[in-house]
């Protein structure tokens, strides 16, 4: 397979994605032929790109000469016949298997035998698209993210018949275009759209259980370093779009309950509550509905106690110990404890292990997994046992505030917010790696670059503890029953691998 450095690129579909792909290819020096079934669409896309480059020149990102040269490399074409000498065709037309197949067949009749046929599909099987073609080995997914010129990730997706050399060539091409490419195997949702499902699903489930409001859930996940919480992000993406991706991953997995969509989301779609674009989703964009939550006041003095103890031996326990020390408080250190957190007399403030506070005793409060080291003032979910005394219910959040968090109480849901979400993201990524969809590094890069996660699932796993993740998921599984929280075999195997080291 020859390299495509100098190849003419034909982009079919001059919509939002096709125009972006044409732009990055032209910026990388390629001659680009842009075609759309709708007359004038390619010309209009080029006009729009002119406007974009005017702005980029005004901002100093390009000189006027560079912008002109880039734009001059893009030629709208009325007929695909003009694409005969292309080295690669990238299609970004309507998301429909039969229409895309028809286009690929048409292209096969026009381009040379070694022209790569790449598709920007986000949900259709690459194997299915290649089926019935004369040279199915040259069909490969080249999945860009929106907006193409800004988003760094390209998933290079191989179907069952994709020639590995073709996938490697497209990988190198994406990198030459300034992107970070990640290899993926064609499976529902590829990497990003699959691994990201629990980010929305766990929040939707907590909403369905009335455990917390959208504003609280969003604040907790922002507190964990996500740029946006799931509700505000679904409102931005479009509740309908997000629902249809979830539904397509669910259907494509033979209705595996793990991916079951949410009734709440379906109801919102049915009612036209699409998010920002319709003025209302989880938030009301016409009113002053805000995604912010109140700040818990920092107590002037700690709640009263006779004895204090810090349980656990990991960095979180060290962090609690350091916070108490900095306030001049005396405490005992119980390093070989089977839980982590703070004990004031007989009352306990425990890091969630996937059980509800009520399961753990009377004066028990549980708090969420603090993901970032600098959580100063960041929202952190906590809940308390239904049997907890009024004094402990009042004292627990004060202790959390003294430890540097902004405590937000939610109902007594197992695994709270961040812990269950991160555990499920790790679990999904682990399954993807087990099934050969991507590598661990590939999953981390894809989630950071494709959806701006603050870290990749395997980076979270390295900073947490495989056994604790499994334990938490097993407890969610016990609590809910069903397929959703079944532990990835890859995670269990990892504990065996760790043991043998």
Give the residues lining the site for ligand NAI (CB under 6 A). Answer: 12-18, 36-38, 41, 92-95, 99, 103, 120-122, 144-146
* Closer of 48 and 409 to ligand NAI (Cβ): 48
CB 182 within 8 A of CB 438: yes
Nearest residue to 447 (alpha-carbon basis) of 466, 467, 461, 464: 461
Residue 240 Cβ vs ligand NAI, minimum distance, rounded to whole Å? 13
Q: Minimum distance between the CB of residue 194 and ligand NAI, rounded to whole angstroms?
A: 14
CB of 17 to ligand NAI, least distance (A): 3
Reported in sequence order, the residue ranges of 329-436 that DSSP labels E, i.e. its strands, are 332-334, 341-344, 347-351, 364-367, 379-384, 406-409
Nearer residue to ligand NAI within complex by CB, 145 or 250: 145
Minimum Å gap between C-beta 103 and ligand NAI is 5
Residue nearest to ligand NAI (CB): 15
Angle made by CA atoms 453, 457, 460, in degrees to the nearest 5: 95
383: helix, strand or coil: strand
Q: Which is nearer to ligand NAI, 211 or 447 (CB)?
A: 447
Minimum distance between the CB of residue 324 and ligand NAI, rounded to whole angstroms?
Answer: 48
Using only the alpha carbons of the chain, give its radius of gyration. 26
Q: How far is the CB of 159 from ligand NAI (least distance, A)?
A: 15
Known active-site residue 330:
no
What does 128-171 look like in DSSP terms, one character per residue? HHHTT-S-GGGEEEEEE-SSTTT--EEEEEE-TT--HHHHHHHH
CB nearer to ligand NAI: pick between 5 and 40: 40
Could you give the angle at the alpha carbon of 88 between the alpha carbons of 87 and 94, nearest 5°? 155
Q: Which of 108, 155, 232, 459 is catalytic?
A: 155
Which one is catalytic: 120, 125, 186, 193? 193
- Taking the complex as a whole, the smallest distance from the CB of residue 157 to ligand NAI amounts, in Å, to 11
Q: Is 52 exposed, middle or buried (0-12, 13-18, 19+ CB in 10 A)?
A: middle
The 3-state DSSP class for residue 380 equals strand
Catalytic residue, chosen from 30, 35, 143, 384, is: 143
The DSSP-derived string for 281-309 is SSSBTTTT--S--PPPPPPSSPPP-S-EE
Comparing CB distances to ligand NAI, the nearer of 7 and 80 is: 80
Q: Write down the catalytic residue from 30, 35, 122, 242.
A: 122
Distance of CA 355 to the CA centre of its chain: 25
User: With respect to ligand NAI, which residue has the nearer C-beta, 42 or 211?
Assistant: 42
Q: Does the active-site annotation cover 143?
A: yes
Sorted by sequence, the CB contacts under 8 Å of residue 188 that are 6+ apart come out as: 123, 125, 194, 248, 249, 252, 253
> Going by C-beta distance under 8 Å and a sequence separation of 6 or more, which residues neighbour residue 290?
215, 283
Residue 155 annotated to the active site: yes
- ∠ CA(278), CA(283), CA(287), 5° rounding? 85
Q: Which is nearer to ligand NAI, 147 or 482 (CB)?
A: 147
Q: Which residues are catalytic?
A: 122, 143, 155, 193
């Amino acid at each position: 397979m020859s390299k495509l450095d100098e190849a003419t690129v034909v982009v079919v579909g001059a919509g939002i994605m096709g125009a972006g792909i044409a732009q990055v290819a032209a910026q990388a020096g390629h001659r680009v032929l842009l075609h759309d079934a709708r007359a004038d669409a390619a010309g209009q896309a080029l006009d729009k790109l002119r406007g974009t480059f005017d702005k980029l020149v005004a901002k100093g990102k390009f000189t006027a000469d560079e912008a002109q040269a880039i734009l001059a490399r893009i030629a709208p074409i009325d007929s695909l016949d003009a694409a005969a000498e292309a080295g690669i065709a990238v299609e970004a037309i309507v998301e429909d298997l039969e229409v895309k197949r028809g286009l690929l067949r048409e292209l096969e009749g026009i381009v040379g035998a070694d022209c790569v046929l790449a598709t920007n599909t986000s949900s259709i099987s690459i194997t299915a698209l290649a089926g019935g073609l004369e040279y199915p080995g040259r069909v490969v997914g080249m999945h860009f993210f929106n907006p193409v010129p800004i988003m760094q990730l390209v998933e290079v997706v191989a179907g069952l018949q994709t020639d590995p050399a073709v996938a490697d060539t497209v990988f190198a091409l994406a990198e030459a275009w300034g992107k970070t490419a990640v290899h993926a195997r064609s499976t529902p949702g590829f990497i990003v759209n699959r691994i990201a499902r629990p980010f929305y699903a766990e929040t939707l489930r907590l909403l369905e259980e009335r455990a917390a409001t959208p504003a609280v859930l969003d604040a907790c996940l922002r507190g964990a370093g996500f740029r946006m919480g799931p509700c505000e992000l679904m409102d931005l993406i479009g509740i309908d779009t997000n629902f249809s991706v979830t539904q397509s991953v669910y259907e494509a997995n033979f209705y595996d309950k793990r991916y079951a969509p949410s009734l709440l989301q379906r109801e919102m779609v049915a009612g036209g509550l699409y998010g920002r674009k319709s003025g209302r989703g989880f938030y009301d964009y016409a009113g002053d509905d805000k995604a912010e939550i109140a700040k818990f006041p920092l107590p002037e003095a700690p709640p009263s106690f006779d004895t204090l103890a810090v349980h656990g031996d990991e960095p979180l326990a060290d962090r609690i110990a350091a916070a108490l020390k900095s306030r001049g408080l005396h405490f005992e250190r119980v390093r070989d404890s089977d839980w982590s957190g703070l004990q004031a007399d007989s009352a306990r403030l425990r890091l969630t292990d996937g059980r509800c506070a009520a399961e753990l005793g009377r004066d028990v409060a549980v708090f969420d997994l603090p993901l970032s080291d600098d959580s100063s003032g960041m929202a952190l979910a906590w809940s308390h046992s239904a049997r907890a005394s009024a004094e402990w219910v009042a004292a627990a959040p004060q202790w959390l505030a003294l430890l540097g968090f902004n405590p937000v109480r939610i109902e007594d849901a197992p695994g709270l917010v961040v812990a269950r979400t991160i555990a499920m993201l790790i679990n999904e990524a682990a399954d993807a790696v087990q099934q050969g969809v991507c590598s661990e590094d590939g999953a981390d890069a894809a989630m950071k670059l494709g959806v701006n996660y603050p870290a990749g699932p395997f980076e979270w796993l390295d900073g947490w503890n495989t056994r604790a993740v499994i334990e938490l998921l097993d407890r969610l599984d016990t609590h809910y029953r069903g397929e959703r929280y079944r532990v990835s075999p890859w995670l269990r195997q990892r504990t065996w691998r760790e043991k043998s080291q």
